[in-house]
Structure 1
Protein backbone atom coordinates (compact mmCIF):
# COMPACT_ATOMS: atom_id res chain seq x y z
CA UNK A 1 0.00 0.00 0.00
CA UNK A 2 1.36 3.40 -1.00
CA UNK A 3 1.25 6.14 1.64
CA UNK A 4 1.89 9.81 0.86
CA UNK A 5 2.19 12.64 3.36
CA UNK A 6 3.52 16.15 2.97
CA UNK A 7 3.78 19.50 4.72
CA UNK A 8 1.77 22.36 3.25
CA UNK A 9 3.80 25.34 2.04
CA UNK A 10 4.98 27.35 5.01
CA UNK A 11 4.59 24.35 7.34
CA UNK A 12 7.19 21.94 8.70
CA UNK A 13 9.94 21.10 6.23
CA UNK A 14 8.24 22.67 3.20
CA UNK A 15 9.45 25.89 1.63
CA UNK A 16 7.55 29.14 1.97
CA UNK A 17 6.77 31.67 4.66
CA UNK A 18 3.56 30.81 6.48
CA UNK A 19 2.18 34.34 6.65
CA UNK A 20 2.65 34.75 2.89
CA UNK A 21 0.69 31.59 2.04
CA UNK A 22 -3.01 31.46 1.27
CA UNK A 23 -5.80 28.92 1.20
CA UNK A 24 -5.71 29.15 -2.60
CA UNK A 25 -2.03 28.12 -2.55
CA UNK A 26 -2.63 25.14 -0.28
CA UNK A 27 -5.74 24.12 -2.21
CA UNK A 28 -3.90 24.08 -5.54
CA UNK A 29 -0.95 22.19 -4.06
CA UNK A 30 -3.17 19.45 -2.63
CA UNK A 31 -5.14 19.05 -5.86
CA UNK A 32 -1.85 18.73 -7.76
CA UNK A 33 -0.57 16.04 -5.37
CA UNK A 34 -3.80 14.02 -5.62
CA UNK A 35 -3.84 14.20 -9.42
CA UNK A 36 -0.16 13.28 -9.85
CA UNK A 37 0.00 9.56 -10.64
CA UNK A 38 3.75 9.62 -10.05
CA UNK A 39 3.13 10.62 -6.45
CA UNK A 40 -0.16 8.93 -5.57
CA UNK A 41 -0.20 6.07 -8.05
CA UNK A 42 -3.23 5.16 -10.13
CA UNK A 43 -5.35 3.18 -7.68
CA UNK A 44 -8.05 4.23 -5.22
CA UNK A 45 -7.23 7.08 -2.85
CA UNK A 46 -8.18 7.68 0.78
CA UNK A 47 -7.58 11.28 1.74
CA UNK A 48 -6.88 11.99 5.42
CA UNK A 49 -6.96 15.64 6.43
CA UNK A 50 -6.20 16.93 9.92
CA UNK A 51 -7.63 20.23 11.18
CA UNK A 52 -7.63 22.61 8.18
CA UNK A 53 -6.67 19.57 6.09
CA UNK A 54 -10.33 18.56 6.00
CA UNK A 55 -11.27 21.95 4.56
CA UNK A 56 -8.50 21.74 1.98
CA UNK A 57 -9.49 18.17 1.05
CA UNK A 58 -13.05 19.25 0.32
CA UNK A 59 -11.80 22.16 -1.79
CA UNK A 60 -9.34 19.98 -3.70
CA UNK A 61 -11.87 17.30 -4.62
CA UNK A 62 -14.11 20.03 -6.05
CA UNK A 63 -11.21 21.20 -8.21
CA UNK A 64 -10.73 17.64 -9.46
CA UNK A 65 -14.42 16.97 -10.14
CA UNK A 66 -13.98 16.77 -13.91
CA UNK A 67 -10.66 14.91 -13.80
CA UNK A 68 -10.05 11.14 -13.68
CA UNK A 69 -8.54 11.51 -10.20
CA UNK A 70 -11.98 12.34 -8.79
CA UNK A 71 -13.28 8.84 -9.57
CA UNK A 72 -10.30 7.35 -7.70
CA UNK A 73 -11.13 9.06 -4.39
CA UNK A 74 -12.60 6.29 -2.24
CA UNK A 75 -13.02 8.17 1.05
CA UNK A 76 -12.20 11.33 2.94
CA UNK A 77 -11.33 11.13 6.63
CA UNK A 78 -11.26 14.32 8.68
CA UNK A 79 -9.28 14.36 11.93
CA UNK A 80 -10.26 17.22 14.22
CA UNK A 81 -11.48 18.81 11.03
CA UNK A 82 -12.16 22.52 10.77
CA UNK A 83 -14.29 23.78 7.91
CA UNK A 84 -14.33 27.49 7.02
CA UNK A 85 -11.68 28.11 9.66
CA UNK A 86 -10.76 31.50 8.21
CA UNK A 87 -14.22 32.79 9.11
CA UNK A 88 -13.55 32.04 12.77
CA UNK A 89 -10.09 33.60 12.61
CA UNK A 90 -11.47 36.72 10.92
CA UNK A 91 -14.00 37.08 13.74
CA UNK A 92 -11.26 36.71 16.37
CA UNK A 93 -8.72 39.04 14.72
CA UNK A 94 -8.65 42.47 16.42
CA UNK A 95 -9.59 45.33 14.12
CA UNK A 96 -6.33 47.11 14.95
CA UNK A 97 -4.10 44.06 14.43
CA UNK A 98 -2.55 45.35 11.21
CA UNK A 99 -1.52 43.05 8.38
CA UNK A 100 -0.27 40.20 10.60
CA UNK A 101 -1.80 39.20 13.92
CA UNK A 102 0.12 36.98 16.33
CA UNK A 103 -2.75 34.80 17.47
CA UNK A 104 -2.25 33.34 20.96
CA UNK A 105 -1.62 29.60 20.91
CA UNK A 106 -1.36 26.90 23.56
CA UNK A 107 1.26 25.21 21.38
CA UNK A 108 3.63 28.15 20.88
CA UNK A 109 4.28 30.92 23.42
CA UNK A 110 5.04 33.30 20.57
CA UNK A 111 1.66 32.71 18.96
CA UNK A 112 0.84 31.97 15.32
CA UNK A 113 1.13 34.65 12.62
CA UNK A 114 -2.26 35.12 10.94
CA UNK A 115 -2.08 37.42 7.92
CA UNK A 116 -5.01 39.54 6.89
CA UNK A 117 -4.25 38.43 3.31
CA UNK A 118 -4.89 34.82 4.39
CA UNK A 119 -8.29 35.74 5.76
CA UNK A 120 -9.20 37.80 2.70
CA UNK A 121 -8.29 34.86 0.45
CA UNK A 122 -10.13 32.47 2.74
CA UNK A 123 -13.37 34.33 2.07
CA UNK A 124 -13.10 33.16 -1.55
CA UNK A 125 -12.47 29.55 -0.49
CA UNK A 126 -15.40 28.72 1.76
CA UNK A 127 -17.33 25.45 1.83
CA UNK A 128 -20.95 26.23 1.00
CA UNK A 129 -24.09 24.17 1.77
CA UNK A 130 -24.57 21.19 -0.54
CA UNK A 131 -20.83 20.83 -1.18
CA UNK A 132 -20.57 17.80 -3.46
CA UNK A 133 -18.09 15.13 -2.42
CA UNK A 134 -17.54 12.04 -4.63
CA UNK A 135 -17.14 9.56 -1.76
CA UNK A 136 -18.15 8.73 1.81
CA UNK A 137 -16.73 10.90 4.59
CA UNK A 138 -15.75 10.03 8.15
CA UNK A 139 -15.15 12.71 10.76
CA UNK A 140 -13.04 11.74 13.78
CA UNK A 141 -13.12 14.31 16.54
CA UNK A 142 -11.89 14.54 20.11
CA UNK A 143 -14.51 15.60 22.61
CA UNK A 144 -11.80 17.44 24.60
CA UNK A 145 -10.73 19.45 21.53
CA UNK A 146 -10.23 23.04 22.71
CA UNK A 147 -9.20 24.34 19.28
CA UNK A 148 -12.10 23.04 17.20
CA UNK A 149 -14.95 22.05 19.56
CA UNK A 150 -16.45 18.70 18.61
CA UNK A 151 -19.96 20.05 17.75
CA UNK A 152 -18.30 21.71 14.75
CA UNK A 153 -17.99 18.24 13.23
CA UNK A 154 -21.76 18.13 12.97
CA UNK A 155 -21.80 21.65 11.51
CA UNK A 156 -19.30 20.45 8.90
CA UNK A 157 -21.39 17.40 8.05
CA UNK A 158 -24.42 19.61 7.44
CA UNK A 159 -22.56 21.30 4.58
CA UNK A 160 -21.37 18.13 2.84
CA UNK A 161 -23.31 16.22 0.16
CA UNK A 162 -21.40 12.96 -0.47
CA UNK A 163 -22.47 11.10 -3.60
CA UNK A 164 -21.07 8.24 -5.63
CA UNK A 165 -20.15 8.34 -9.33
CA UNK A 166 -23.74 7.50 -10.28
CA UNK A 167 -25.24 10.12 -7.99
CA UNK A 168 -26.25 7.72 -5.22
CA UNK A 169 -26.30 9.25 -1.75
CA UNK A 170 -23.43 8.26 0.51
CA UNK A 171 -22.88 8.79 4.22
CA UNK A 172 -21.02 11.03 6.62
CA UNK A 173 -19.99 8.99 9.66
CA UNK A 174 -18.70 10.20 13.02
CA UNK A 175 -16.21 8.83 15.48
CA UNK A 176 -16.18 10.88 18.68
CA UNK A 177 -13.20 10.20 20.94
CA UNK A 178 -14.23 10.98 24.55
CA UNK A 179 -10.72 11.78 25.83
CA UNK A 180 -9.38 13.10 22.53
CA UNK A 181 -7.83 16.54 22.08
CA UNK A 182 -7.27 18.41 18.82
CA UNK A 183 -4.10 16.60 17.84
CA UNK A 184 -5.37 13.05 18.52
CA UNK A 185 -1.78 11.84 18.73
CA UNK A 186 -1.80 9.34 21.60
CA UNK A 187 -1.51 5.61 20.71
CA UNK A 188 -5.23 5.05 21.34
CA UNK A 189 -6.19 8.05 19.24
CA UNK A 190 -3.90 6.99 16.40
CA UNK A 191 -5.47 3.54 16.57
CA UNK A 192 -8.92 5.09 16.04
CA UNK A 193 -7.62 6.82 12.92
CA UNK A 194 -6.02 3.60 11.70
CA UNK A 195 -9.29 1.73 12.17
CA UNK A 196 -11.13 4.34 10.12
CA UNK A 197 -8.59 3.93 7.32
CA UNK A 198 -8.91 0.12 7.48
CA UNK A 199 -12.70 0.39 7.31
CA UNK A 200 -12.45 2.70 4.31
CA UNK A 201 -10.11 0.27 2.56
CA UNK A 202 -12.59 -2.56 3.03
CA UNK A 203 -15.20 -0.66 1.02
CA UNK A 204 -12.90 -0.44 -2.00
CA UNK A 205 -13.76 -3.06 -4.63
CA UNK A 206 -11.02 -5.65 -5.14
Structure 2
Protein backbone atom coordinates (compact mmCIF):
# COMPACT_ATOMS: atom_id res chain seq x y z
CA UNK A 1 0.00 0.00 0.00
CA UNK A 2 1.32 3.43 -0.93
CA UNK A 3 2.14 5.70 2.00
CA UNK A 4 3.50 9.24 2.10
CA UNK A 5 6.45 10.91 3.80
CA UNK A 6 6.49 14.64 4.45
CA UNK A 7 10.02 15.99 4.04
CA UNK A 8 11.52 18.99 5.89
CA UNK A 9 11.40 20.83 2.55
CA UNK A 10 7.60 20.42 2.45
CA UNK A 11 7.50 17.79 -0.27
CA UNK A 12 5.22 14.73 -0.05
CA UNK A 13 7.03 11.55 -1.09
CA UNK A 14 5.06 8.45 -2.06
CA UNK A 15 6.59 5.13 -1.04
CA UNK A 16 5.99 1.42 -0.59
CA UNK A 17 7.87 -0.34 2.18
CA UNK A 18 8.25 -4.08 2.67
CA UNK A 19 9.27 -5.22 6.17
CA UNK A 20 11.97 -7.85 6.57
CA UNK A 21 15.49 -8.58 7.73
CA UNK A 22 18.49 -6.47 6.89
CA UNK A 23 20.54 -5.29 5.30
CA UNK A 24 17.60 -3.69 3.56
CA UNK A 25 17.42 -2.86 -0.14
CA UNK A 26 16.43 0.58 -1.43
CA UNK A 27 15.61 1.12 -5.10
CA UNK A 28 16.50 4.52 -6.58
CA UNK A 29 14.80 5.07 -9.92
CA UNK A 30 15.77 7.01 -12.99
CA UNK A 31 14.77 10.37 -14.42
CA UNK A 32 11.01 10.63 -15.20
CA UNK A 33 10.48 7.05 -14.01
CA UNK A 34 8.47 5.97 -11.00
CA UNK A 35 8.32 3.22 -8.41
CA UNK A 36 5.92 1.09 -10.49
CA UNK A 37 8.63 0.30 -13.05
CA UNK A 38 9.66 -3.24 -13.92
CA UNK A 39 12.90 -3.27 -11.89
CA UNK A 40 11.34 -1.76 -8.77
CA UNK A 41 8.39 -4.15 -8.74
CA UNK A 42 10.60 -7.16 -9.51
CA UNK A 43 12.93 -6.30 -6.65
CA UNK A 44 10.02 -5.89 -4.26
CA UNK A 45 8.65 -9.32 -5.17
CA UNK A 46 12.12 -10.84 -4.80
CA UNK A 47 12.63 -9.17 -1.40
CA UNK A 48 9.35 -10.62 -0.14
CA UNK A 49 10.39 -14.15 -1.11
CA UNK A 50 13.71 -13.62 0.67
CA UNK A 51 12.26 -11.96 3.76
CA UNK A 52 14.38 -8.88 3.03
CA UNK A 53 13.40 -5.34 3.94
CA UNK A 54 12.78 -3.28 0.80
CA UNK A 55 11.87 0.31 -0.04
CA UNK A 56 10.79 1.91 -3.31
CA UNK A 57 9.61 5.49 -3.62
CA UNK A 58 8.90 8.33 -6.04
CA UNK A 59 11.09 11.41 -6.09
CA UNK A 60 9.19 14.70 -5.93
CA UNK A 61 7.77 15.54 -9.34
CA UNK A 62 7.63 11.82 -10.18
CA UNK A 63 4.84 9.27 -9.90
CA UNK A 64 2.49 9.85 -6.97
CA UNK A 65 4.72 12.32 -5.11
CA UNK A 66 4.00 16.03 -4.87
CA UNK A 67 5.52 18.88 -6.91
CA UNK A 68 5.99 19.37 -10.65
CA UNK A 69 8.79 17.59 -12.49
CA UNK A 70 9.89 20.80 -14.20
CA UNK A 71 10.49 22.46 -10.82
CA UNK A 72 12.83 19.72 -9.61
CA UNK A 73 16.56 19.07 -9.86
CA UNK A 74 19.21 16.59 -8.78
CA UNK A 75 19.69 18.31 -5.42
CA UNK A 76 15.97 18.06 -4.63
CA UNK A 77 15.82 14.39 -5.58
CA UNK A 78 18.93 13.62 -3.53
CA UNK A 79 17.26 15.31 -0.53
CA UNK A 80 14.17 13.15 -1.13
CA UNK A 81 16.31 10.01 -1.23
CA UNK A 82 18.20 10.92 1.93
CA UNK A 83 14.98 11.57 3.81
CA UNK A 84 13.46 8.32 2.61
CA UNK A 85 16.52 6.28 3.58
CA UNK A 86 17.11 7.86 6.97
CA UNK A 87 13.43 8.00 7.97
CA UNK A 88 11.96 4.85 6.46
CA UNK A 89 14.76 2.29 6.87
CA UNK A 90 16.79 0.91 9.75
CA UNK A 91 20.46 -0.02 9.74
CA UNK A 92 22.70 -0.47 6.71
CA UNK A 93 21.15 -0.56 3.26
CA UNK A 94 22.05 -1.79 -0.21
CA UNK A 95 21.26 1.00 -2.66
CA UNK A 96 20.19 -0.15 -6.12
CA UNK A 97 20.39 2.87 -8.39
CA UNK A 98 19.08 2.83 -11.96
CA UNK A 99 20.42 5.49 -14.36
CA UNK A 100 19.90 8.78 -12.49
CA UNK A 101 19.42 6.64 -9.38
CA UNK A 102 23.04 5.59 -9.79
CA UNK A 103 24.07 9.24 -9.48
CA UNK A 104 21.77 9.70 -6.49
CA UNK A 105 23.32 6.64 -4.80
CA UNK A 106 26.79 8.19 -5.18
CA UNK A 107 25.52 11.40 -3.58
CA UNK A 108 24.18 9.26 -0.72
CA UNK A 109 27.66 7.75 -0.39
CA UNK A 110 28.89 11.28 0.34
CA UNK A 111 26.01 12.28 2.60
CA UNK A 112 25.29 9.14 4.65
CA UNK A 113 28.05 6.55 4.06
CA UNK A 114 27.39 5.02 7.47
CA UNK A 115 23.94 3.89 6.26
CA UNK A 116 25.24 2.13 3.14
CA UNK A 117 26.62 -1.41 3.02
CA UNK A 118 26.84 -1.62 -0.77
CA UNK A 119 25.76 -0.06 -4.07
CA UNK A 120 24.48 -1.76 -7.20
CA UNK A 121 24.41 0.63 -10.14
CA UNK A 122 22.32 -0.24 -13.20
CA UNK A 123 23.45 1.88 -16.17
CA UNK A 124 24.53 4.44 -13.60
CA UNK A 125 24.49 7.97 -15.02
CA UNK A 126 26.53 10.29 -12.77
CA UNK A 127 26.86 13.91 -13.93
CA UNK A 128 24.45 13.40 -16.85
CA UNK A 129 23.05 16.93 -16.66
CA UNK A 130 26.50 18.24 -17.60
CA UNK A 131 27.93 15.42 -19.71
CA UNK A 132 24.78 14.57 -21.65
CA UNK A 133 22.07 17.25 -21.40
CA UNK A 134 24.36 20.26 -21.60
CA UNK A 135 27.13 18.71 -23.68
CA UNK A 136 24.67 17.41 -26.30
CA UNK A 137 22.50 20.55 -26.44
CA UNK A 138 22.54 22.49 -29.68
CA UNK A 139 23.40 26.17 -29.83
CA UNK A 140 19.69 26.90 -30.25
CA UNK A 141 18.79 24.83 -27.18
CA UNK A 142 21.47 26.51 -25.09
CA UNK A 143 20.21 29.91 -26.16
CA UNK A 144 16.65 28.92 -25.29
CA UNK A 145 17.80 27.70 -21.88
CA UNK A 146 19.55 30.99 -21.18
CA UNK A 147 16.73 33.22 -22.41
CA UNK A 148 13.61 31.18 -21.63
CA UNK A 149 14.86 28.96 -18.82
CA UNK A 150 14.23 25.58 -20.48
CA UNK A 151 14.35 23.41 -23.58
CA UNK A 152 12.68 20.12 -24.51
CA UNK A 153 14.43 16.87 -25.37
CA UNK A 154 12.91 13.75 -26.95
CA UNK A 155 12.68 10.55 -24.93
CA UNK A 156 12.05 6.88 -25.70
CA UNK A 157 10.09 6.76 -22.44
CA UNK A 158 7.70 9.68 -22.98
CA UNK A 159 5.69 10.67 -26.06
CA UNK A 160 6.17 14.35 -25.34
CA UNK A 161 9.80 14.12 -24.27
CA UNK A 162 10.78 15.98 -21.12
CA UNK A 163 11.85 19.43 -20.09
CA UNK A 164 15.40 20.47 -19.21
CA UNK A 165 15.46 23.60 -17.07
CA UNK A 166 18.20 26.06 -16.26
CA UNK A 167 17.79 25.15 -12.59
CA UNK A 168 18.37 21.47 -13.41
CA UNK A 169 21.61 22.28 -15.25
CA UNK A 170 22.89 24.78 -12.68
CA UNK A 171 22.01 22.57 -9.72
CA UNK A 172 23.56 19.57 -11.45
CA UNK A 173 26.87 21.44 -11.51
CA UNK A 174 26.71 21.71 -7.73
CA UNK A 175 26.29 17.93 -7.41
CA UNK A 176 28.87 16.53 -9.85
CA UNK A 177 30.72 13.46 -8.58
CA UNK A 178 33.20 12.74 -11.37
CA UNK A 179 35.09 16.04 -10.99
CA UNK A 180 35.93 15.62 -7.32
CA UNK A 181 37.29 12.81 -5.13
CA UNK A 182 34.71 10.05 -4.70
CA UNK A 183 35.31 7.65 -1.83
CA UNK A 184 33.13 4.54 -1.79
CA UNK A 185 34.04 2.62 1.40
CA UNK A 186 31.88 -0.43 0.63
CA UNK A 187 31.45 -2.93 -2.23
CA UNK A 188 30.14 -1.44 -5.48
CA UNK A 189 28.81 -3.39 -8.47
CA UNK A 190 28.07 -1.67 -11.76
CA UNK A 191 25.87 -3.41 -14.35
CA UNK A 192 25.72 -2.01 -17.88
CA UNK A 193 24.31 -3.16 -21.21
CA UNK A 194 26.48 -2.88 -24.32
CA UNK A 195 23.43 -1.78 -26.36
CA UNK A 196 22.62 1.14 -24.00
CA UNK A 197 22.17 4.19 -26.23
CA UNK A 198 21.16 6.51 -23.38
CA UNK A 199 24.16 6.02 -21.08
CA UNK A 200 27.25 4.76 -22.94
CA UNK A 201 29.40 2.03 -21.41
CA UNK A 202 32.16 4.66 -21.30
CA UNK A 203 30.33 6.29 -18.37
CA UNK A 204 30.63 3.12 -16.32
CA UNK A 205 34.31 2.82 -17.22
CA UNK A 206 34.92 6.44 -16.23
CA UNK A 207 33.18 5.93 -12.89
CA UNK A 208 35.18 2.78 -12.24
CA UNK A 209 38.45 4.58 -12.94
CA UNK A 210 37.53 7.68 -10.95
CA UNK A 211 36.13 6.26 -7.70
CA UNK A 212 38.28 5.29 -4.76
CA UNK A 213 36.93 1.88 -3.83
CA UNK A 214 38.64 -1.31 -2.69
CA UNK A 215 35.93 -3.56 -4.15
CA UNK A 216 34.39 -2.22 -7.35
CA UNK A 217 33.41 -4.35 -10.33
CA UNK A 218 31.81 -3.50 -13.67
CA UNK A 219 29.79 -6.20 -15.46
CA UNK A 220 28.89 -5.70 -19.12
CA UNK A 221 25.91 -7.53 -20.58
CA UNK A 222 26.09 -7.96 -24.33
CA UNK A 223 23.00 -6.69 -26.11
CA UNK A 224 21.24 -5.31 -23.04
CA UNK A 225 19.70 -1.86 -23.48
CA UNK A 226 19.18 1.00 -21.04
CA UNK A 227 16.02 -0.49 -19.56
CA UNK A 228 17.97 -3.55 -18.35
CA UNK A 229 14.63 -5.21 -17.69
CA UNK A 230 14.69 -8.56 -19.47
CA UNK A 231 14.28 -11.60 -17.24
CA UNK A 232 18.01 -12.36 -17.50
CA UNK A 233 18.89 -8.79 -16.52
CA UNK A 234 16.46 -8.78 -13.61
CA UNK A 235 17.90 -12.05 -12.33
CA UNK A 236 21.42 -10.64 -12.65
CA UNK A 237 20.42 -7.69 -10.45
CA UNK A 238 19.14 -9.93 -7.64
CA UNK A 239 22.11 -12.30 -7.98
CA UNK A 240 24.42 -9.31 -7.66
CA UNK A 241 22.69 -8.13 -4.49
CA UNK A 242 22.89 -11.59 -2.91
CA UNK A 243 26.59 -11.90 -3.78
CA UNK A 244 27.57 -8.57 -2.18
CA UNK A 245 29.88 -9.16 0.79
CA UNK A 246 28.14 -8.59 4.09
CA UNK A 247 24.61 -8.91 2.76
Please tell me the TM-score bracket, short chain as reference: 0.7 to 0.9
Check whether the contact 2:182–2:212 (CA below 8 A) recurs between aligned residues.
yes
TM-score where L is the length of structure 2: 0.72
Q: What's the TM-score, normalizing by structure 1?
A: 0.86
2:246 corresponding residue in structure 1:
204
Give runs of aligned pairs for residues 107-126 of structure 1, distance below 5 A.
Answer: 107-126=157-176
User: Is this contact kept in 2: 1:76–1:136, CA < 8 A?
Assistant: yes
Q: CA deviation at 1:100?
A: 1.8
| Contact kept? 2:208, 2:218, Cα under 8 Å | no
The within-5 A match list for 1:166-177 is 170-177=214-221
Q: 2:143 aligns with which of 88, 96, 109?
A: 96
Gaps of 5+ in 2: 1-51
SS for the counterpart of 1:109 is: strand
Label 1:117 to 1:72 Cα distance change in 2 as closer, same or farther (>3 A). Answer: closer
- Show CA shifts across 1:9-60 (max 9, x none): 1112222111100111111111222222xx1122x31000000111111112
Determine whether 1:33 maps to 2:84. yes
More strand by share: 2
- Give the Å deviation of 1:102: 1.1
Corresponding residue of 1:6: 57
Q: Is the aligned partner of 1:188 residue 2:232?
A: yes
Partner Cα distance (1:137, 1:54) in 2: 11
Is the CA contact 1:74–1:136 (under 8 Å) kept in the aligned structure 2? Answer: yes
Q: Indicate yes or no: 2:124 matched with 1:62.
A: no
**How many residue pairs end up in the alignment?**
188
Structure number with the bigger relative contact order (C-alpha 8 A, sep ≥ 6) is: 1
Structure 1: segments with no counterpart, 5+ residues: 65-69, 163-169
